[in-house]
Amino acid sequence: MNFNPETWHKVQVVPQQDRTGSVNFEGVPELFRLLGEAAEIAVKAGIPPEAFTASAWQAYLRASPGLAEHLAEMQFDAALEEMRNNGRLAKA
């Protein structure tokens, strides 16, 4: 998909269901508006795209501690598996 700054806010969002199976689209237009404003501020301030996206990701993780914890657990498990596979940790 090619990025078009004139139509990026029209990109379809495919929501994920929550644990109850509910899907909620509330706030999506506001989300895109705020992200657009944040991007404009970042560009005007000369912030590199990588720093902008990294900051956005960190803000998302701060707002979703359960996701941050899940990702940390996955990273830890992967590191243990790598150490086991390299013979640096005994397999139980």
Listed in sequence order, the DSSP H helices in 1-92 are 28-44, 49-63, 65-85
Digit-coded pLDDT (tens) for 11-49: 555 555 566 666 566 767 888 889 899 999 999 999 999
Q: Which two tokens stand for residue 14?
A: 């495919």
| pTM of this prediction exceeds 0.75 | no
Digit-coded pLDDT (tens) for 58-88: 999 999 989 989 999 999 999 999 999 998 8
Domain locations in the chain as residue ranges: 26-85
Residue type, 78: A
Cα–Cα dist 66/92, whole Å: 28
Cα–Cα dist 14/25, whole Å: 9
